[in-house]
Chain A
Amino acid sequence: MSGFTNLNSSVGYSQNSTPNGGAAPPYQNGPVQTYPAMYPPAGYYGAPPQQQGYSTIPGHAAPAPNKAPVTNNAHSANYYHNNHQQQQNHLPQHHVAPSPYSAPLSSAPPSQPYAALPSAAPPPTNAHYNQQPFQPHPPYATPGSYYGQQSYHPSSARQHPSLVPVTASGPGAPLYPIVSYPSAPGSSQYGTLSSSQSTSAPVGMPTQMVGAPLHQYSAAPPPSTTAVQPGYGVGPPGQTAPTVVNGQGSAAQNAVHQHYTQSHQASLSYDSYSGVPPGSGGADTDQPPSGTPSTSVHSSPGHHQGVQYGYVANSGASSASATTSGPAAAAAAAAAAAAPSSSSSDDDDEEEDEDEEAGGDTSSSTTGSASPVPNSYDSLEGGSYPDSMPPSNDMTNQAAPYGSYGYPSMQSAYQQGPASHTDASPSHDLYGQSGYQQYSQPFPNLSQLSAALGGLSGVPELEVEALRPVNLLQERNLLPPRPLEAPEPNVSSDLKKVNCSPQTFRCTLTSIPQTQALLNKARLPLGLLLHPFRDLQQLPVITSNTIVRCRSCRTYINPFVTFLDQRRWKCNLCYRVNDVPDEFMYNPVTRSYGEPHKRPEVQNATVEFIASSDYMLRPPQPAVYLFVLDVSHNAVEAGYLKYFCESLLENLTKLPGDVRTRVGFLTFDSTIHFYNLQEGLSQPQMLVVSDIDDVFIPSHDSLMVNLKESKELVKDLLTSLPEMFSQTRETHSALGPALQAAYKLMSPTGGRITVFQTQLPTLGVGALQAREDPNQRSSAKGVQHLGPATDFYKKLALDCSGQQIGVDLFLLSSQYADLASLACMSKYSAGSVFYYPSFHYIHNPAQLEKFQKDLERYLTRKIGFEAVMRIRCTKGLSIHTFHGNFFVRSTDLLSLANVNPDSAFAVQMSVEDSLADSSLACFQAALLYTSSRGKRRIRVHTLCLPVVNQLSDVYAGADVQAITCLLANMAIDRSVSSSLSDARDALVNAVVDLVSAYKSNVSNLQQSGLVVPASMRLFPLYILALLKQKALRTGTSTRLDERVFAMCEFKTQPLQQLMRLVHPDLYRLDNMSDQGALHLNDTVVPQPHLLHLSAERLSRDGAFLMDCSNVFYLWIGKCCNEMFIRDVLGCPNYASIPPNMSHIPELETPLSERVRAFLDWLQDNRAFSCTIHVVKDDASAKATLFQHLVEDQSEVASSYRDFLQHIQQQISK
Chain B
Amino acid sequence: MAFTFAAFCYMLALLLTAALIFFAIWHIIAFDELKTDYKNPIDQCNTLNPTVEKVKKIKRVKIALKLVLPEYLIHFFFCVMFFCAAEWLTLCLNLPLLAYHVWRYMSRPVMSCPGLYDPTTIMNADILAYCQKEGWCKLAFYLLSFFYYLYGYVFHFRICPSC
**B38 CB contacts on chain A under 8 angstroms:** 890-892
Any B CB within 8 A of the CB of A192: yes
Within 8 A of B (CB), among A820-843: 827-828
Any A CB within 8 A of the CB of B55: yes
A359-B41, A795-B112 in contact; A196/B49 too (CB < 8 A)? yes
**A798 CB contacts on chain B under 8 angstroms:** 45, 47, 119-120
User: Are A361 and B125 in touch, CB under 8 angstroms?
Assistant: no
> Which of A802, A887, A892 meets B49, CB within 8 Å?
A802
A886-897: contact bitstring with B at CB < 8 Å (1 yes, 0 no)?
Answer: 011111110100
User: Are B41 and A791 in touch, CB under 8 angstroms?
Assistant: no
Q: How far is the CA of A887 from the CA of B123 in the complex (A)?
A: 10
Any B CB within 8 A of the CB of A420: no
User: Are B125 and A879 in touch, CB under 8 angstroms?
Assistant: yes
Within 8 A of B (CB), among A783-822: 787-792, 794-795, 798-799, 801-802
User: Are B52 and A196 in touch, CB under 8 angstroms?
Assistant: yes
User: Are A801 and B39 in touch, CB under 8 angstroms?
Assistant: no
> Which of B43, B53, B124 meets A889, CB within 8 Å?
B43
A788-B110, A801-B48, A891-B123 in contact; A196/B41 too (CB < 8 A)? no
A189-B51, A192-B52, A196-B49 in contact; A358/B40 too (CB < 8 A)? yes
Q: How far is the CA of A879 from the CA of B120 in the complex (A)?
A: 16
A881-B126, A910-B125 in contact; A617/B39 too (CB < 8 A)? no
Query: Which of A361, A791, A801, A893 has the most chain B CB atoms inside 10 A of its CB?
Result: A361
**A358 CB contacts on chain B under 8 angstroms:** 39-40
**A474 CB contacts on chain B under 8 angstroms:** none
The 9 sampled A-B contact pairs (Cβ below 8 Å) are: A189-B51, A361-B48, A362-B40, A792-B112, A798-B120, A879-B125, A882-B124, A889-B43, A889-B48
Q: How far is the CA of A790 from the CA of B112 in the complex (A)?
A: 7
Any B CB within 8 A of the CB of A323: no
Q: State the Cβ distance, B108 to closest chain A Cβ, in Å.
A: 11
A interface bracket (residues with beta carbon within 8 Å of B): 35 or more
User: Are B41 and A889 in touch, CB under 8 angstroms?
Assistant: yes
Interface size on B, residues (CB 8 A): 31
User: Are A192 and B53 in touch, CB under 8 angstroms?
Assistant: yes
**A365 CB contacts on chain B under 8 angstroms:** 39
Closest 8 CB pairs of A and B: A890-B41, A802-B47, A888-B123, A361-B51, A880-B125, A359-B40, A889-B41, A798-B47
User: Are B48 and A196 in touch, CB under 8 angstroms?
Assistant: no
B44-86: contact bitstring with A at CB < 8 Å (1 yes, 0 no)?
Answer: 0111111111110000000000000000000000000000000
Any A CB within 8 A of the CB of B35: yes
User: Are B123 and A802 in touch, CB under 8 angstroms?
Assistant: no
**B36 CB contacts on chain A under 8 angstroms:** 891
**B6 CB contacts on chain A under 8 angstroms:** none
Q: How far is the CA of A802 from the CA of B50 in the complex (A)?
A: 10
Within 8 A of A (CB), among B2-47: 34-43, 45-47
User: Are B110 and A787 in touch, CB under 8 angstroms?
Assistant: yes
Q: How far is the CA of A193 from the CA of B34 in the complex (A)?
A: 21
**B41 CB contacts on chain A under 8 angstroms:** 359, 361-362, 889-890, 893
A929-960: contact bitstring with B at CB < 8 Å (1 yes, 0 no)?
Answer: 00000000000000000000000000000000
Q: How far is the CA of A907 from the CA of B125 in the complex (A)?
A: 11
**A744 CB contacts on chain B under 8 angstroms:** none
Q: How far is the CA of A319 from the CA of B126 in the complex (A)?
A: 55
A195-B52, A895-B48 in contact; A887/B39 too (CB < 8 A)? no
Any A CB within 8 A of the CB of B1: no
Q: State the Cβ distance, B77 to closest chain A Cβ, in Å.
A: 28
Q: How far is the CA of A891 from the CA of B39 in the complex (A)?
A: 9
Any A CB within 8 A of the CB of B111: yes
User: Are A887 and B120 in touch, CB under 8 angstroms?
Assistant: yes
**B34 CB contacts on chain A under 8 angstroms:** 890-891
Q: State the Cβ distance, B120 to closest chain A Cβ, in Å.
A: 5
Q: How far is the CA of A193 from the CA of B55 in the complex (A)?
A: 11
Within 8 A of B (CB), among A676-710: none
Q: How far is the CA of A359 from the CA of B54 in the complex (A)?
A: 9
Q: How far is the CA of A189 from the CA of B123 in the complex (A)?
A: 26
Query: Which of B36, B39, B55, B120 has the most chain A CB atoms inside 10 A of its CB?
Result: B39
**A799 CB contacts on chain B under 8 angstroms:** 47
**B125 CB contacts on chain A under 8 angstroms:** 878-881, 891, 908, 910
User: Are B110 and A791 in touch, CB under 8 angstroms?
Assistant: yes
**A828 CB contacts on chain B under 8 angstroms:** 120
Q: State the Cβ distance, A586 to closest chain B Cβ, in Å.
A: 30
Number of A-B residue pairs at CB separation under 8 A = 100
User: Are A887 and B37 in touch, CB under 8 angstroms?
Assistant: no
Q: State the Cβ distance, A708 to closest chain B Cβ, in Å.
A: 29
User: Are A200 and B120 in touch, CB under 8 angstroms?
Assistant: no
A365-B39, A790-B110, A792-B112 in contact; A801/B54 too (CB < 8 A)? no
Q: How far is the CA of A787 from the CA of B53 in the complex (A)?
A: 36
Any B CB within 8 A of the CB of A226: no
Query: Which of B45, B46, B52 has the most chain A CB atoms inside 10 A of its CB?
Result: B52
Any B CB within 8 A of the CB of A50: no
**A827 CB contacts on chain B under 8 angstroms:** 120
Closest to B124 in A: A881
Q: State the Cβ distance, A501 to closest chain B Cβ, in Å.
A: 27
Any B CB within 8 A of the CB of A360: yes
Within 8 A of B (CB), among A377-416: none
Any B CB within 8 A of the CB of A356: yes
Extra A-B contacts (17), CB below 8 Å, given A357-B39, A554-B39, A802-B47: A193-B51, A196-B50, A196-B51, A200-B49, A359-B40, A359-B41, A361-B50, A789-B110, A791-B109, A792-B112, A795-B112, A798-B45, A799-B47, A880-B124, A882-B123, A891-B34, A891-B36
Q: How far is the CA of A888 from the CA of B34 in the complex (A)?
A: 11
**A889 CB contacts on chain B under 8 angstroms:** 41, 43, 48, 123
Q: How far is the CA of A799 from the CA of B46 in the complex (A)?
A: 9
Q: How far is the CA of A869 from the CA of B37 in the complex (A)?
A: 16
Q: How far is the CA of A791 from the CA of B45 in the complex (A)?
A: 14
Q: State the Cβ distance, A1076 to closest chain B Cβ, in Å.
A: 45
Any B CB within 8 A of the CB of A292: no
> Which of B55, B109, B120 meets A196, CB within 8 Å?
B55
Any B CB within 8 A of the CB of A197: yes
Q: State the Cβ distance, B144 to closest chain A Cβ, in Å.
A: 31
Q: How far is the CA of A361 from the CA of B52 in the complex (A)?
A: 9
**B45 CB contacts on chain A under 8 angstroms:** 798
User: Are B49 and A801 in touch, CB under 8 angstroms?
Assistant: no
Q: How far is the CA of A879 from the CA of B125 in the complex (A)?
A: 8
Within 8 A of A (CB), among B91-116: 109-112
User: Are A192 and B51 in touch, CB under 8 angstroms?
Assistant: yes
Closest to B120 in A: A828
Q: State the Cβ distance, B83 to closest chain A Cβ, in Å.
A: 34
User: Are B37 and A880 in touch, CB under 8 angstroms?
Assistant: no
**A787 CB contacts on chain B under 8 angstroms:** 110
Q: How far is the CA of A221 from the CA of B84 in the complex (A)?
A: 73
User: Are B40 and A617 in touch, CB under 8 angstroms?
Assistant: no
Q: State the Cβ distance, B135 to closest chain A Cβ, in Å.
A: 17
Q: How far is the CA of A878 from the CA of B123 in the complex (A)?
A: 13
User: Are B42 and A361 in touch, CB under 8 angstroms?
Assistant: no
Q: How far is the CA of A841 from the CA of B123 in the complex (A)?
A: 43
Q: How far is the CA of A791 from the CA of B115 in the complex (A)?
A: 12
**B40 CB contacts on chain A under 8 angstroms:** 357-359, 362, 890
User: Are B49 and A617 in touch, CB under 8 angstroms?
Assistant: yes
Q: How far is the CA of A799 from the CA of B43 in the complex (A)?
A: 12
Q: State the Cβ distance, A934 to closest chain B Cβ, in Å.
A: 19
User: Are B37 and A890 in touch, CB under 8 angstroms?
Assistant: yes
A789-B110, A879-B125, A881-B124 in contact; A359/B39 too (CB < 8 A)? yes
Q: State the Cβ distance, B28 to closest chain A Cβ, in Å.
A: 17
User: Are A890 and B51 in touch, CB under 8 angstroms?
Assistant: no
**B46 CB contacts on chain A under 8 angstroms:** 802
Closest to B119 in A: A798
> Which of A189, A192, A888 meets B120, CB within 8 Å?
A888
Q: State the Cβ distance, A424 to closest chain B Cβ, in Å.
A: 29
User: Are A891 and B37 in touch, CB under 8 angstroms?
Assistant: yes
**A895 CB contacts on chain B under 8 angstroms:** 48
Closest to A554 in B: B39
